[in-house]
Amino acid sequence: MSGALAGISCLVTGAGGFVGHRILEMLLEEEADLREVRAADKTLSGRLLHTCERFQSKIQVKVLEGDVQDPEFLHRSCQGVDLVIHTAAIIDVTGQTSKETLMSINVHGTELLLESCIQNSVRYFIYTSSLEVVGPNTSGEPVVNGQEDLLYDSKLGFYYGESKRQAEQAVLRANGRMLQDGGSLVTCSLRPTYIFGEGSQFLQIHVDQALQNGGVFHRISKKEALANPVYVGNVAWAHVVAARAMMDPHTAKKMAGKFYYICDDTPHMSYSDLNHALGRELGLGVEDRLALPYPLLYFVASMMELVSFLLRPFIRYVPPLTRHLLTLLNTTFTFSYKKAHQDLGYTPRYSWTEAKRLTSTWIASILPQELKKK
């Protein structure tokens, strides 16, 4: 389906972020016939500006600095655009961000962007969602190779997952809405599983902690708590594939108003064992077991949350461990990309071997100089 986006103007929000930047790069590399790409972010990093400059001679690239909470900025950004890929969001798994901020940016910002699309007759909208809109729930009920028709009691214990779920619902509800020019909006949502790869802030934190721990990753998840991580390059590729599928009326009808799980062929393993798999060849190890038995860790997390609650009138204390995070890291929660393959034609572009090599090379680049010489 190469060239399916020929003549299209595309806006990518959150284009400076981990996933958004990779989507931007892949669009610029794969869709040389795009009429225009607009890269929007709240702050313009040197990396984002460099990427846009690098492709400026091949495709018209505009860099837009602004906030998804600013209706005027969104209106300007959407004028003359055919496709929006909305990745901009606050990601928070530890409770650093207030509920008000999460809802304002992740939910209200998405609603404002959808309205701008309606007013400017933007025909296509792809939303970057999260596996946390599903769970794991507060009971830690496992899922093995879940699919889109799975009935799961998503009792979410965290504001981030709730904010992403409300935003996704707004996107899917907007499918079919009449545009200013009389056409109708086509929307879909992509739900990646845990994303790893070059530039991952979470992976960088884990590497830093391992270095402080004598080159050994902390065991943050039980070996049997399986996840199916997905490489960032495959997440970006899924967005390009979804955009191409939207341009085909037959496929667009099939995918309109739906969500899809996005993963790849990375082996199912715990979060801790993923860290080890990516750092093993660099000499990084992993602890054999959790620091404490899981029930005791859960009790410690509960006490930390209680202390945070009691201190709230006086100071803001963010616990390093919460029951939600502990449940997230220690619940088997795996999904299938079968539906995305059937409806969108998505197949992972990068193998596990390639994804591991690229990510390990990046980890090596951020290691202290003395370790690189070993």
> Catalytic pick from 164, 222, 339, 356?
164
119: helix, strand or coil: helix
Take residue 300 and report the two structure tokens written for it: 């410690």
d(CA 141, CA 331): 7
Distance from first CA to last CA of the chain, Å, rounded? 46
Q: Which residues have C-beta within 8 Å of that of residue 345, sequence separation ≥ 6?
A: 1, 241, 244, 245, 251
CA neighbor of 32 nearest in space, from 59, 4, 61: 59
d(CA 362, CA 66): 30
User: For 171, which DSSP code?
Assistant: H
Q: Which residues have C-beta within 8 Å of that of residue 24, sequence separation ≥ 6?
A: 12, 15, 37, 39, 48, 51
d(CA 123, CA 175): 10
Take residue 217 and report the two structure tokens written for it: 């990753």
Enumerate helices (H) and strands (E) in the chain, giving the number of each.
15, 13
Placement of tokens 């449940």 in the chain: 327
d(CA 200, CA 232): 9
Q: Which residues have C-beta within 8 Å of that of residue 163, sequence separation ≥ 6?
A: 89, 90, 102, 103, 106, 107
Q: What angle, rounded to 10 degrees, do the helices at 18-30 and 46-55 form?
A: 10
d(CA 79, CA 119): 9
Cβ pair 341, 251 in contact under 8 A: no
d(CA 52, CA 61): 6
CA neighbor of 82 nearest in space, from 235, 185, 190: 185
Cβ pair 223, 265 in contact under 8 A: no
Annotation marks residue 164 as catalytic: yes
Backbone φ and ψ for 127, nearest 5 degrees, come out as -110, 130
Catalytic residues, by residue number, are 164
